[in-house]
Amino acid sequence: MRFKKSFFSLQTRIVMLILGVFVLSFFVTDFLISKRIASNIELNKIDKISYVGRMMSNSALVIEALEGKRDHNEIQTFTNKITKATDVDFIVVMDMNRIRKSHPDQTKVGKLFVGGDELNVFKGKEYVSTAKGTLGVSLRAFSPIYGTDGSQIGAVAVGILLANVNQEISYNRMIIFTGIGVGGLVGLMGALILARRIKRILFGLEPLEISQLLEERNAMLQSTREGFLAVDQYNRITVVNPEAIRLFQQAGIDEEPIGKDAEELLPGSRLRMVLKTGNAEFDQEQNISGSTWLVNRTPVILNNKVVGAISTFRDKTEVKKLAEQLTGVQMYVEALRAQTHEFMNKLHVILGMVNMGFYDELTGYVSHITKSHQEEIGFIVKLVQDPALAGFLLGKLSFAREMDAELHLSGDCIVPEPKDSRLTHELITIIGNLIDNSIHAVQDSNEKILNIEFQYEDNEDVLTIIVRDTGIGIPTNHLETIFMNGFSTKGNDRGTGLFLVRRSVERLKGSLIVDSELNKGTTFTISLPYEGKDLDDD
């Protein structure tokens, strides 16, 4: 069984999906979360430096030093301690003349504050700004310092370098991306494990292959002529096909079978025993509501454990009927029945004449039918030396008369008995089905005439059989389909005869030609390799 290959396997698609989710989450995180983290870190830093700035502006030591009550050097010592304790980059205290009283770089103490963003703090405003100072670009919080008399005596600037802020933002982003990366790696490994497990569960099949198998399985269940029923390990019915439903209804079972216990729906089904023992049962007869089925039961075994069972079944009467058609037994039966029926009719005529005392007429009647019968027998026996085939043709003559049709046999040759006795059965199948088909074809015609001509080329070992009728003919679009099994324009349960004819011809490596004209008739020409038996073979 061949399947169309998928461009990507199931495992590859699962891995690609996980990678896609990972990449998408990475960019979404960077776009949404990272910016928010940067904003939160910046706000935290602003809150921190603003708090430190307010703390320094309210420090008694700083106020007293700016009022001249303490040594200004104490401010530098104090700010250095606070800088280390609060983890800010700098704390600069300045007087009203913008002269620094503290700075991380001792050499900058006593010099003017640099940045240009400090003017508003000397107007009593508290704010945060970003500017470039002697240490670089920084985020700075300004707070005014008021003396004990309530007048502003200076200001304090607390700052954090933007490089350090960005470094912390990058560090936090790296932590998040590391978490995403680890999660993606774990997801990728999980996807690989999951894909392999799914692959094992699905017996190594890809989804496309599974869908194709499912379509084929449904097509097989729909088209099969056998009833199909499957049960799980608890003997509950899980699958039935249309033919099984038809057989159920034929047996008077109209319940919905899916989900039902098989033993309750079909008493004596023995599927529970098959589930228990794990032993298959073949060609068993089962009686269901008066219908006899031929049943096969097979366990479904997975990993050495019985997980279900399958039952296939067919109506025994239909099987017997099909066997008769396929083996040609029905042909023999019909021929014998027709001969018997014709013989019984003649006996009734003879009996009636005897009872009425018409002895002279009886003598003439018996002489006539005897002569006619002897002529028929003599001609057929002379034409066909195979006793079985000759007797069969006599029966078909009777059958044709019974169907109010004229059957004429002709041939300017002698058809010897076949060297291979199996050929007789094939000839009976071919000739019998063609005669039956032609008899049915002429039923609606004014002239109900059939002609069978035998031509035998002894030197070439070829037997040609030509069957002509005066029937309604075959439409051109049906000339090929008439040989399909089951095709018929005459109703259901027909359409097997010509299928068997072609099958026998093909089996014998012969040829078959059909020539038909509507409302004028049809001619079948069969040519077969035919090796006759020599007289000294006996």
Q: Which of 223, 256, 281 is the C-terminal boundary of a domain? A: 223
396 and 270 within one domain: no
How many domains does the chain contain in total?
3
Residue 36 pLDDT exceeds 90: no
Please report the DSSP string for 375-401 in residue order. HHHHHHHHHB--HHHHHHHHHHHHHHH
Residue 528 pLDDT exceeds 70: yes
Phi and psi at 230, nearest 5°, equal: -125, 145
Look-up: residue for tokens 């954090």?
160
pLDDT band of residue 2 (cuts 50, 70, 90) is: very low
530 and 440 within one domain: yes
DSSP secondary structure letter of residue 33: I
Q: Going edge to edge, which strands form the sheet with 136-146?
A: 90-95, 152-161, 136-146, 127-133
Helices and strands per DSSP (H, E), number in the chain = 15, 14
pLDDT tens per residue, range 469-517: 988 888 888 877 888 876 666 654 456 778 888 888 888 899 999 998 8
Q: Return the closest-CA partner of residue 295 out of 277, 280, 314, 308.
A: 314
156 exposure class (CB count in 10 Å sphere: 0-12, 13-18, 19+): buried
Look-up: residue for tokens 């159920």?
248
Asked if the structure places residue 255 within a domain, the reply is yes
Do 127 and 120 form a contact (C-beta atoms < 8 A)?
yes
Which residues have a Cβ under 8 Å from the Cβ of 349 and sit 6 or more positions away?
365
410 and 296 within one domain: no
Predicted confidence at residue 3, as pLDDT, reads 44
Three-state SS across 119-158?
Answer: HHHHHCCCEEEEEEECCEEEEEEEEEEECCCCCEEEEEEE
Q: Which of 166, 189, 223 is the C-terminal boundary of a domain? A: 223
User: Which of 45-59, 225-239, 327-341, 474-488 shows the lowest mean pLDDT across its residues?
Assistant: 327-341
Structural domain span for residue 360: 328-537
Please report the DSSP string for 425-480 in residue order. HHHHHHHHHHHHHHHHHTTTSSS-EEEEEEEEETTTTEEEEEEEE-S----GGGTT
Predicted confidence at residue 1, as pLDDT, reads 44
* Residue 460 tokens, joined: 């070439």
Asked if the structure places residue 342 within a domain, the reply is yes
382 and 520 within one domain: yes
Q: Which of 172, 190, 223 is the C-terminal boundary of a domain? A: 223
